[in-house]
Amino acid sequence: MLFHSFFALFSLFLCALATVPATVYRGDSRSPADLKKVNGFQTYAATNNVNPNLDLIVHCQGGHDDDDGYVSTSKSYKVASNFGRKKDGYVYYIDTSHSPSQYIDVAAWCKANSEKNPIPKEQEFSSKAGIPWSSIVKWDKIEKGKVVSSETRIAFDAGGTNSRPSSSGKGSTKGSRAIQIRGATREKITDLEYQ
């Protein structure tokens, strides 16, 4: 019985690893400067210095925030941008190649474990650990539901647009060297960037 359980878990690991997209997305209200200060996206468990709860279904249902051991991301830019557009914020592009085994395809996991996916529309890939600053490739700044600029982490680290927090803690756009995106949808631009 133990062998079968191990084999099932190992098969799921290989299946999940093969399906992890090269880039996942996260909508968030925090500025790049704020994320850099804390080395990227941290789990609630790490932030609260408690043992992580790694129950994936509990995470997906939004429970146990104080000890949640996952960070939510999506394989869909559109889904992530909807989270970012609830307020002014950002959509972060995250490179999964540094540690693809930390990302769990929620839909595949639920199917393999005969569980109902509580968040099918979110196309979630849950990260079992924090996502380091070095895995964030770039971001789009969203204001009033529209993408107003994009910037890479490399440009930011070299002193780009939002490298210093503003007095509000949300970063500054004065002296912007970010790419301006006006009159175009993010989907069209993404298609051009990755062809």
User: Which pLDDT tens digit goes with each residue over 120-149?
Assistant: 899 999 999 899 999 999 999 998 888 999
Q: Mean pLDDT throughout 56-80? A: 89
Q: d(Cα 1, Cα 81) in Å, to the nearest integer? A: 44
How many distinct structural domains can be found in the chain? 1
Beta bridge partners of 136: 94
Residue, of 178 and 112, whose pLDDT is higher: 112
On the question of pLDDT at 65 being above 90, the answer is no
Q: What is the DSSP letter of 137?
A: E
106-63-21 Cα angle (round to 5): 20
Q: What are 156-178's pLDDT values in tens digits?
A: 999 876 554 444 444 433 333 33
Average pLDDT, the chain: 79
Beta bridge partners of 26: 92
Q: Mean pLDDT throughout 90-115? A: 94
Share of the chain above pLDDT 90, in %: 54
Q: Residue 42's domain spans which residues?
A: 2-193
Q: Mean pLDDT throughout 87-110? A: 93
What's this model's pTM, rounded to 2 decimal places? Answer: 0.74
The confidence score (pLDDT) of residue 163 equals 53
CATH number of residue 146's parent domain: 3.90.210
CA pseudo-torsion sign 104, 107, 109, 110: positive
Pairing of strands 124-127, 146-152: unpaired
SS3 state of residue 41: strand
